[in-house]
């Protein structure tokens, strides 16, 4: 069974092995497999960037203790990818910056657990858990710079997805920046479309740090 663990600056010490494994997986996928421009191989075979900070939240999918998928969320009130590197993709609506808006980056599923044609249930569970986490933390939206092929998938889930600018080509890929509304309907939509269990996959171990500074923590939405 896949559990999606919430890792923040408050409980990171409990996940040192899993976080290290996740950085190794990111190196394998983003540098060795996808060969993302601007990312260079590291001697330690781990991928980091300037947005891996103490404020970053990692949602890691663990199966029998092994990392098989994940993503990260960053506050938009500080440095983040769209705001600091790719603001040209938000020229029409502007870069969303608010305590209750997170930015989503670095989603992955380990190659051996990807499924042909239908997409990965692991990836779908991690994405659903992101919406679940957003509801838990009182987020109103999640911004993401993504390949345009994601857009019809999200619309199929019934999500409200608002482009922040026009799609454009970057390093041979069509990309678009969007803001996704975090709602109970968004969570129900992806669960229904992807045939996911109607239960929360989120796991919180150790101390809690709210995503919104000073906010009261609320129970996870199932």
Give me the architecture of the 3-203 domain, per CATH: 3-Layer(aba) Sandwich (3.40)
Using alpha carbons only, give the angle 165, 131, 71 rounded to the nearest 5 degrees.
80
What's residue 10's pLDDT?
Answer: 97
What is the per-residue pLDDT across 164-219, written as a single tens digit (0 to 9) for each? 999 999 988 999 999 999 999 999 999 999 999 999 999 999 998 999 998 866 55
Q: Which two tokens stand for residue 90?
A: 């938000």
Lowest mean pLDDT among 46-50, 101-105, 134-138, 143-147: 46-50
What does the alpha-carbon distance between residue 162 and residue 195 come to, in Å, rounded to a whole number? 25
Helices then strands, counting H and E runs in the chain, come out as 5, 9
pLDDT in tens, 53-68: 999 999 999 999 999 9
Q: Return d(Cα 21, Cα 1) in angstroms, integer.
A: 19
The share of the chain scoring above pLDDT 90, in percent, equals 79
Long-range contacts of 29-33 (CB under 8 A, 24+ apart): 29/108, 29/111, 30/106, 30/108, 33/111
The domain locations on the chain are 3-203
Q: 221 — alpha (psi -120 to 50), left (phi > 0) or beta?
A: beta
- DSSP classification of residue 28: I
User: What mean pLDDT value characterizes the chain?
Assistant: 92
Q: Report the distance separating Cα 18 and Cα 130, nearest Å.
A: 18
pLDDT (0 to 100) of residue 195: 95
110-154 per-position pLDDT tens digit? 988 877 544 589 999 999 999 999 999 999 999 999 999 999 999
DSSP bridge partners of 162: 179
CA neighbor of 178 nearest in space, from 202, 160, 203, 200: 160
Taking the model in full, what pTM does it have? 0.92
């Amino acid at each position: 069974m896949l559990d999606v663990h919430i890792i923040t600056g408050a409980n990171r010490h409990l996940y040192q092995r899993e976080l290290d494994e996740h950085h190794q997986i990111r190196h394998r996928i983003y540098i060795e497999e996808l060969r993302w421009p601007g990312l260079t191989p590291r001697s330690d075979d781990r991928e980091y960037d300037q947005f891996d900070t103490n404020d970053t939240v990692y949602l890691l999918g663990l199966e029998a203790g092994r990392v098989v998928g994940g993503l990260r969320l960053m506050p938009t009130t500080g440095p983040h990818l769209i705001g600091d590197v790719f603001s040209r993709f938000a020229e029409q609506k502007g870069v969303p910056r608010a305590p209750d808006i997170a930015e989503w980056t670095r989603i992955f599923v380990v190659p051996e657990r990807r499924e042909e044609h239908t997409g990965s249930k692991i990836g779908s569970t991690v994405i659903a858990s992101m919406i679940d986490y957003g509801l838990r933390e009182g987020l109103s939206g999640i911004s993401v710079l993504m390949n345009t092929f994601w857009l019809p998938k999200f619309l199929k889930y019934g999500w409200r997805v608002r482009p922040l600018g026009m799609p454009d080509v970057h390093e041979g890929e069509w990309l678009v920046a969007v803001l996704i509304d975090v709602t109970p309907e968004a969570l129900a939509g992806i669960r229904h479309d992807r045939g996911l269990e109607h239960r929360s996959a989120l796991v919180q171990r150790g101390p809690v740090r709210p995503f919104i500074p000073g906010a009261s923590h609320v129970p996870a939405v199932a």
